[in-house]
Structure 1
């Protein structure tokens, strides 16, 4: 297998000149470039990627920590990350964690060893304080409001959309509302914001038996509906953590020929349009794309970008693929 030394020897130029030609860094005359590239082609020389990364200080890889992709939140945000990465000639390395702190620490140590040019944290199990300590090793961007922490963030202003949704329900004299979450409040920023906003509008938190956690898939939504039907017969609405999940909830009531409570989803997915439910659109795709750009454009200070979210009562499908209109 040919080496960079072989290219230098046959072309008649120094190793440093060959390296500059390969990495397109520094001045190399046109004559030298032509001769070196001719020899590279002749020898079928393939540059050592690790050595090239060491010379440029870039891996052109971004790590994306995500617990799983069962929740459409993560698949949508990942689509935004990957499209932005492709446009910038970067690769995305998926780093699944299932909220395991030890696994997430392993990924942070990889950042410390310069295995990625930066990390995007879609959701996490470790405290923000520990994430904050790894900022010195490369740009880290969180997809949630990191508050006063010295961490870059791109996040949805879901509180405004939740406020609009709960006021809409309150005006309709709706009081008995159940909530579905993937994780409990205190651990999940989404669960915390949802319940906090509900309390601000209604003056109190919902009863414990109307808050179901551990729901991340349509099948889990189906069984959550079964639980709610047993313990809350006077239920008026179910506020879900995803349109797909709410579709599972709806299917339970349909299968058992039960009166269907009002339903609200999240994510603005095609399933929500199909069953005609109101939904929260947090614009996850946009968040993913902006998070990638923030990793690639680090600044001296911390940046926090808030993306507007919408409460959509009447969903409609646009003729353009993969898009919706309100």
Structure 2
């Protein structure tokens, strides 16, 4: 297999000139470029991208740490990161963890080994202190509000739109307000935001019987609805943690031919548009783009992104 030295010998130009032409990192005259290109085509030369990455210290690869893909928050955010990375000429590797802190540490160690140009954590279990200790090896970005922690972060600001949802329920004089959540309060910033906003609006915590955790997708929403209808007083307002979950809740109520509660979802997925479900758009395209930019440019900044409450009327609810 031909190498740069072979191309230099066959083209009559120096190794430095051939290297500048192949790597597109300096001036090469038109005559030299044409001569080198003829030789490249003749010998069917293919650049050794691995060697090039080692020489430049870059892999053009971003590791994206994702607990799992069943929850639409993670799948949407991963898709937006992937799109932004590809547009910037980078590859993406999905690093699944299922919230295993040891796996997360292994991925941080792989950053130390230069397997990635940076890591984006869509969520995490490993401590921020551990992340900070690895920051010297490459950019680390978290997709949540880190407060004063000096790690890069970009995230959707949820409090305003969560307040809007609960204020809507309060004005509507709903008597039973239920929430479906991913994880419990101590382990999820999004759960904390939802419950804190509820408490701010109603001046009390949500009723335990109206709060269901471990809800990730359509089937979980369907089962949550079955539970809600088993209560002596089923809720008349349900704030779901995704539109797919909201659709599962709706389907169970319809199958049981029970009066439909008002349902609000999240993520502005296609199903919410088809079913006219009110929802929150967290603008993950912008969050993903910001995360990739923070990695590529090695910035340690916090970039909030405003979310948007979208009110719809239709077969599920009229609010």
Asked whether the two chains share a fold, i.e. TM above 0.5, the reply is: yes
CA shift at 1:73, angstroms? Answer: 1.5
1:120-168 CA deviation, whole Å, 9 max, x = no partner?
Answer: 2111222222222222111112111111111111111110101111111
Partner of 1:319: none
Between 1:28-37 and 1:124-133, the stretch displaced more is 28-37
Partner of 2:8: 8
Partner of 2:224: 224
CA shift at 1:19, angstroms? Answer: 2.6
| Residues 78 and 285 in structure 1, CA contact (< 8 A), matched pair in contact too | no
Partner of 2:34: 34
Q: How does 1:142-221 map to 2 (within 5 A)?
A: 142-221=142-221
Matched, 1:68 2:68: yes
Q: Structure 2: how far apart are the matches of 1:137 and 1:315?
A: 50
| Residues 279 and 311 in structure 1, CA contact (< 8 A), matched pair in contact too | yes
Q: Structure 1: how far apart are the matches of 2:8 and 2:107?
A: 38
Q: Structure 2: how far apart are the matches of 1:253 and 1:4?
A: 68
Matched, 1:235 2:225: no
Partner of 2:94: 94
The size of the alignment, in residue pairs, is: 314
Q: Structure 1: how far apart are the matches of 2:303 and 2:191?
A: 20
Q: 1:116 to 1:232 in 2, by over 3 A?
A: farther
Partner of 1:122: 122
Partner of 1:314: 312
Structure 2 unaligned blocks of 5 or more: 315-319
Partner of 1:252: 252
CA shift at 1:242, angstroms? Answer: 0.3
Q: Structure 1: how far apart are the matches of 2:230 and 2:216?
A: 21
SS of the aligned residue for 1:227 comes to helix
| Residues 120 and 140 in structure 2, CA contact (< 8 A), matched pair in contact too | yes
1:22-58 CA deviation, whole Å, 9 max, x = no partner?
Answer: 2122444444333332222111111211111122222
Q: Structure 2: how far apart are the matches of 1:250 and 1:73?
A: 20
CA shift at 1:276, angstroms? Answer: 2.3
Q: Structure 1: how far apart are the matches of 2:8 and 2:71?
A: 52
1:154-185 CA deviation, whole Å, 9 max, x = no partner?
Answer: 11111010111111111111242111111111
SS of the aligned residue for 1:47 comes to coil
Q: Structure 1: how far apart are the matches of 2:132 and 2:205?
A: 31
SS of the aligned residue for 2:187 comes to coil
Partner of 1:305: 303
Partner of 1:320: none
Q: Structure 1: how far apart are the matches of 2:126 and 2:233?
A: 38
Q: Structure 2: how far apart are the matches of 1:26 and 1:210?
A: 65
Q: Structure 2: how far apart are the matches of 1:201 and 1:24?
A: 59
Q: Structure 1: how far apart are the matches of 2:32 and 2:112?
A: 37
| Residues 228 and 234 in structure 2, CA contact (< 8 A), matched pair in contact too | no
Partner of 1:321: none
| Residues 235 and 261 in structure 2, CA contact (< 8 A), matched pair in contact too | yes
Taking structure 2 as the reference length, the TM-score comes to: 0.92
Q: Structure 2: how far apart are the matches of 1:209 and 1:180?
A: 11
CA shift at 1:191, angstroms? Answer: 0.6
SS of the aligned residue for 1:134 comes to helix
Between 1:197-206 and 1:25-34, the stretch displaced more is 25-34
| Residues 81 and 292 in structure 2, CA contact (< 8 A), matched pair in contact too | yes
Between 1:92-101 and 1:210-219, the stretch displaced more is 92-101
RMSD: 1.9
SS of the aligned residue for 1:259 comes to coil
